[in-house]
Amino acid sequence: MGLKDRDRRWEGTSLAFGIVAFAILIGFCVALAGSTAGEIAAALGGIIGGAIGAGGAALAVILTFQNQRIEESEKAYASILCEIGEFSRFVVGHLGACLLIKNGALAFPVRKLAALTAMPEPVIYPAIADHISRLPNPTLVVSFYARLEEMKGVVRVIQGMPMSETPISPDHIMGLVDLLISICQISEILLESDTRPVFDDHGLSDLVRAKFLATLKQQLDLAKKDFPDAESFSGWNEELKMDD
């Protein structure tokens, strides 16, 4: 059951509880009409006792739903981090190819840039996008996927340039490189922030996360040497850390 289904179930339960409580109140008022003081006192005692029992039951239901929601959110966040990790692996490869182009070690025609920077379509993110605000670091998660879409647009613009058979030059890809760097930086922040112990198969293992973070840092260091003036190295990521 997803987060949306649980919300609908909780709303339905709350509505039903309210209707039943209102019906009981109306019935109680009708029954008290014409009753003696002793009968009223006995009835009130029964109502108070019943209210305490009902309140305890309602509290148990509320706590159960809250725990379920927390568990669903944790699993959703673990899943989205796994997808971000896999997508970042592609981005690291694309950034590495751009560095090779910058150093003259790779010649690739402009018209094939889309093939060089191909990415799979996200699966987890669209499934939980409606409830992204409940997850940790929602701004960074949205920014990560938004920049992936922006990357596709940048590639289309570059491919639309004249002389599409011309090899890609560093000037062609400067904007793209800056975008790839920022995506890697966001991924690094997200993966570093997930310090919870792994309790099931939904999360990245500590070993995999550490190894991938090392690869990310290495690629970013290389990019900083070849593209020191990239806007993404201006410290904007520190502002994002503070925002979340």
* Tokens coding 27: 């019935």
Lowest-pLDDT range, 43-52, 98-107, 155-164, 194-203? 194-203
Beta bridge partners of 167: 109
Report the pLDDT averaged over residues 15-37.
Answer: 58
3-class secondary structure, 177: helix
Question: Which of 24-33, 51-60, 155-164, 168-177 is modeled with the greatest confidence?
Answer: 168-177
pTM: predicted TM-score of the whole model, two decimal places = 0.68
- The DSSP annotation for 140-173 comes to HHHHHHHHHHHHHHHHHHHHTSS-TTSBP-HHHH
d(CA 172, CA 69): 47
d(CA 229, CA 227): 6
Sort 203 into a burial class: Cβ within 10 Å, 0-12 / 13-18 / 19+. Answer: buried
Q: Per-residue pLDDT tens for 75-127? A: 888 888 889 988 999 999 999 999 999 888 888 888 888 888 999 999 999 98
Structural Rg of the chain based on CA atoms = 28
Cα–Cα distance list, 204 to 32, 87, 130 (Å): 62, 14, 23
The C-alpha angle with vertex 130 and arms to 125 and 134, in degrees rounded to 5, equals: 90
Q: What is the DSSP letter of 167?
A: B
* Tokens coding 13: 């339960």
d(CA 238, CA 3): 31
